[in-house]
RNA sequence: GGUCCCAUCGUCUAGAGGCCCAGGACAUAGCCCUCUCAAGGCUAAGACACGGGUUCGAAUCCCGUUGGGACUACCA
């Protein structure tokens, strides 16, 4: 009987939930769900000067939007300072940690000197065997790393990684102001929270041997580790604002579906044969570290956009109708609080979803269905609303007005007969009508468009288009 | 500088010694469909970083080189 899987996502609230953090959270979430384990959220806010409550909220909001719900937490490390201090005291009593009276300035100076003379900038251990306190200095607490031997990290993704202990610094675990530091709190919390698998970014691999020594000093079992490859920007440097939007919620704003982002993120580093699109259930079922890659991946917004368009195409229009509502308001297509008939909206979306890559785009193309009036694109107007089309438009208007049936099929018959009568191509009529009804030259099939716009608005817009055309013979 | 990690088309990746003169997806180009724009279909171009081994045989194993990244804080 193996113990229950427990994993955690442990962001520090010094910014919004970003792409890299979201991917780490996602892999934790999938691993937990796959194994019927627990997914825990822990806020690592021991750096009080950089952490804010606002960012804690932002992180929770981002995870909620992505549907990465946790089973326990959020826990905050600032609520647990007493716990950390008791562990520190224990280590000091047992001689596994010691007071260090070197000031930050001295340390900085020594490091600078070491670097300048090409030496390793390592703590020289001068307080390691101190017997007496140094008066006038408030000490920090350092953890004793064994001077020799090796530490082996057995990583689920990297395999066996060996570190020489003499390369490892005696790290500070309690600052002179009495607050604990990351490498210590992470171990204490993972122990207290009974974390079985530590799944985190590659950037923590080098911290792992130090943490292993802390586990050992405390006498606890060492969890399994899985270090995920990084996500980089287009220039192969760490993903940052320079590469465009990095905050997860920015993708909400841009009209992305959370499942599309999740699908994109999971394929950065993980694969399942040639499959590209996965439902949430499939992800949970298929996810394993066996097919997580080792190499860093470059974030590619184009592929994310494609995936988003796929998710929009395959989402039920009723669902898209709900999702697009805030964007209709934001794009000022409907007023705040204004409602819209969802059945009609869904039908409109049926025609639009395969040409919308984002909800923002979808909202904007819905504009000509919803608005009372359309504005013409100048180039389109000049090209298609002219003397040649005027006659056709007049005839169409009259036909439509005189025929009670306004269905897709009825419209097709009307169009065909006008086209045949004048010996022109369908497009010679369809394009001017398209401009008259939508204001532009791109839209779904013209019969569908008219059907959704409705007879009344269609006639009104045709009338307006006809009037717009200045006829040189009758100025 | 030291330590550690990594290396297949522009990008994400498949590939567990012969199935690979390397497969899929995005992006790009062309064609088809067509009332426009999409979607869809078909096709094209495009990669095993380099050099040594091991082996009958290497993208796959080993070593080196090069390149990239991370860490080297009283940040996380």
Quick one: which of A436, A460, A466, A463 has its CA closest to A449? Answer: A436
- A231: β partners: A297
pLDDT for A473 beyond 60 = no
Residue A474 has pLDDT above 70, yes or no: no
Distance between CA atoms of A354 and A360, rounded to whole angstroms?
14
- Which chain B positions have some atom within 7 A of a protein CB? 1-8, 10-16, 23-27, 35-40, 68-76
A434 touches strand B (CB under 7 A): yes
Q: Distance between CA A156 and CA A248 in Å, rounded?
A: 27
For A324-376, how does the pLDDT look when each residue is reduced to its tens digit (9 = 90+)?
A: 999 999 999 999 989 999 999 999 999 999 999 999 999 999 999 999 889 99
Considering only CA atoms, name the residue closest to the C1' of nucleotide B7.
A295
Distance A462 CA to B59 C1' (A): 63
- Under 8 Å CB-to-CB from A177, ≥6 apart: which residues? none
Please state, for a pLDDT cut of 70, what percent of chain A lies above it: 98
Task: Tell me the mean pLDDT in the region A386-395.
Answer: 88
Tokens of A159: 């395999």
Catalytic residue from among A4, A119, A241, A332: A241
Which nucleotide has the least CA–C1' distance to A153?
A: B4
A42 - beta bridge partners?
A75
Residue A236 CA to B50 C1' — how many Å? 21
Cβ of residue A231 near strand B, that is under 7 Å? no
Among A83-92, A110-119, A364-373, A387-396, the minimum mean pLDDT is found in A110-119
For residue A417, the SS3 value is: helix
ipTM exceeds 0.90: yes
Strand B closer than 7 A to residue A190 Cβ: no
The burial of A301, by beta-carbon neighbours within 10 Å (0-12 exposed, 13-18 middle, 19 or more buried), is given as middle
Mean pLDDT across chain A, nearest whole number?
A: 93
Cβ of residue A172 near strand B, that is under 7 Å?
yes
Measured in angstroms, what separates residue A274's CA from nucleotide B43's C1'? 21
How high is the pLDDT of residue A113?
83
Tell me the mean pLDDT in the region A141-156.
95
Determine the nucleotide nearest to A270 by Cα–C1' distance. B13
**Mind listing the pLDDT tens digit for each residue in A17-68?**
999 999 999 999 999 999 999 999 999 998 888 889 999 999 999 999 999 9
C-beta separation of A37 from A4 below 8 A: yes
Environment class of A47 (CB within 10 Å of its CB; exposed 0-12, middle 13-18, buried 19+): middle
CA distance A24 to A262: 11
- Of A163, A156, A159, the C-alpha closest to A199 is A156
Q: Is the CB of A140 under 7 A from strand B?
A: yes
**What's the pLDDT score for residue A200?**
97
Contact predicate A439/A461, CB 8 Å: no
Residue A472 has pLDDT above 60, yes or no: no
Cα A79 versus chain centre, distance: 28
The end-to-end CA distance of chain A, in Å, is 91
Of A residues 360-419, those with CB within 7 angstroms of nucleic strand B are none
Query: Using the CA of A276, which nucleotide's C1' is the nearest one?
Result: B25
Task: Indicate yes or no: strand B within 7 A of the C-beta of A249.
Answer: no
Q: Which nucleotide is nearest to A137 (CA to C1')?
A: B74
Length of chain A: 475
Output the CA angle A165-A169-A175, nearest 5 degrees: 145
pLDDT value of residue A1: 47
Residue A353: active-site member: no
pLDDT at residue A107 is higher than 80: yes
Rounded to 5°, the CA angle A38-A44-A45 comes to 145
Rounded Cα distance, A230 and A23, in Å? 10
A61 CB below 7 A from strand B atoms: no
Greatest mean pLDDT range, A238-252, A343-357, A382-396: A343-357
Q: Nearest nt to A430, CA vs C1'?
A: B35
Looking at residue A475, what is its pLDDT? 45
| CA-based torsion, A16, A358, A275, A234: positive or negative | negative
Per-residue confidence band for A225, with pLDDT thresholds at 50, 70 and 90 = very high
Q: Which pLDDT score, from 0 to 100, does residue A471 have?
A: 57
| Residue A433 host element (H or E) | helix A426-438
- Residue percentage of chain A with pLDDT more than 90: 77
**According to the model, what pLDDT value does residue A241 have?**
82
pLDDT digits (tens, 9 = 90+) for A418-442: 999 998 999 999 999 999 999 999 9
């Amino acid at each position: 009987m193996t113990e229950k899987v427990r994993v955690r996502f442990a962001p520090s609230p010094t910014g919004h939930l970003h792409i890299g953090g979201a991917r780490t959270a996602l892999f934790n979430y999938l691993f937990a769900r796959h194994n019927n384990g627990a997914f825990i959220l822990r806020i690592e806010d021991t750096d009080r000067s950089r952490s804010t409550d606002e960012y804690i909220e932002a992180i929770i909001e981002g995870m909620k939007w992505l549907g990465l719900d946790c089973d326990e937490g959020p826990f905050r490390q600032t609520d647990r300072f007493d716990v950390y201090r008791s562990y520190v005291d224990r280590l000091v009593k047992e001689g596994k940690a010691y007071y260090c009276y070197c000031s930050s300035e001295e340390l900085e100076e020594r490091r600078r000197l070491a670097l300048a003379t090409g030496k390793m900038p390592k703590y020289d251990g001068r307080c390691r065997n101190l017997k007496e306190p140094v008066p006038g200095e408030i000490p920090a607490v350092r953890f004793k790393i064994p001077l020799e031997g090796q530490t082996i990290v057995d990583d689920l993704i990297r395999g066996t990684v060996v570190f020489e202990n003499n390369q490892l610094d005696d790290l500070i675990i309690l600052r002179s102001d009495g607050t604990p530091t990351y490498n210590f709190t992470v171990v204490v919390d993972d122990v207290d929270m009974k974390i079985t698998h530590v799944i985190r970014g590659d950037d923590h691999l080098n911290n792992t041997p130090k943490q292993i020594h802390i586990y050992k000093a405390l006498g606890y079992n060492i969890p399994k580790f899985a270090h995920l490859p990084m996500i980089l920007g287009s220039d192969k440097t760490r993903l940052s604002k320079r590469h465009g939007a990095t905050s997860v919620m920015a993708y909400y704003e841009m009209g992305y579906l959370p499942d599309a982002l999740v699908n994109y993120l999971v394929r950065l580093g993980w694969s399942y044969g040639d499959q590209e699109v996965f439902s949430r259930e499939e992800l949970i079922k298929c996810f394993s570290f066996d097919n997580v890659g080792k190499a860093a991946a470059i974030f590619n917004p184009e592929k994310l956009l494609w995936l988003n368009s796929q998710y929009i195409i395959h989402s039920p229009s009723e669902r898209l109708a709900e999702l697009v509502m805030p964007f209709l308001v934001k794009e000022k297509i409907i007023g705040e609080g204004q409602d819209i008939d969802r059945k009609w909206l869904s039908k409109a979306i049926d025609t639009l979803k395969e040409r919308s890559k984002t909800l923002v785009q979808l909202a904007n193309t819905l504009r000509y269905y919803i608005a009372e009036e359309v504005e013409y694109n100048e180039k389109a107007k000049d090209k298609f609303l002219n003397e040649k089309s005027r006659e056709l438009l007049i005839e169409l208007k009259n036909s439509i007005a005189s025929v009670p049936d306004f269905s897709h099929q009825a419209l097709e018959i009307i169009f065909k007969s006008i086209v045949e009568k004048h010996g022109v191509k369908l497009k010679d009529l369809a394009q001017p009508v398209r401009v008259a009804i939508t204001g532009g030259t791109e839209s779904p099939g013209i019969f569908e468009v008219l059907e959704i716009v409705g007879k009344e608005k269609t006639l009104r817009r045709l009338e307006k288009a006809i009037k717009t055309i200045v006829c040189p013979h009758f100025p």
